[in-house]
Amino acid sequence: MIDLLQMIASGIAVGSSYALMGLAMVIIYKTSEVVNFAQGEMALLSVFLTYMGLEYYHVPYYIAFPAALAFAVFLGCFLEFAVLRRAKEPNVLGMIIITIGLEMILLGFVSWKFGADPKTMPFPISPYDSVMLGEVFVSALEVLTFIVALTVMVILFLFLRYSKLGVAMKATQQNYVAARLMGIRTNRILMITWGISSLVGCVAGLLIAPVTMQPYMMWDPMLKGFAAAVMGGMTSLPGSVFGAYIIGIIENLFGGYVSIEFKSVVAFLIIVLVLCFKPSGLFARHYVKKV
In-domain check, residue 184: yes
Domain around 198: 2-277
pLDDT > 60? residue 290 = no
pLDDT at 174: 77
152 within domain boundaries: yes
When pLDDT is averaged across residues 21-35 and rounded to a whole number, the result is 87
User: DSSP state, 22?
Assistant: H
Cα-Cα-Cα-Cα dihedral of 130, 132, 133, 137, to 10°?
Answer: 60
**With contact defined as beta carbons under 8 Å apart, do 16 and 244 qualify?**
yes
List pLDDT tens digits, range 101-156: 999 999 999 999 998 888 889 898 887 787 777 777 888 888 888 899 889 888 98
Average pLDDT, the chain: 86
**Ordered alpha helix ranges (H), 83-184:** 92-114, 140-162, 164-174, 176-181
| 285 occurs within a structural domain | no
The answer to whether position 259 is within a domain reads yes
Q: What is the pLDDT of residue 268?
A: 79
Buried b (16+ CB within 10 A) or exposed e, 238-265: bbbbbbbbbbbbbbbbbbbeeeeeebee
**Count of domains for the chain:** 1
Domain for residue 286, yes or no?
no
Read off the pLDDT of each residue in 34-40 and give the average, rounded to a whole number: 90
| Nearest residue to 267 via CA among 20, 9, 36, 22 | 22
Q: Which helix (H) or strand (E) holds 138?
A: strand 136-139
For residue 187, the domain's CATH number is 1.10.3470
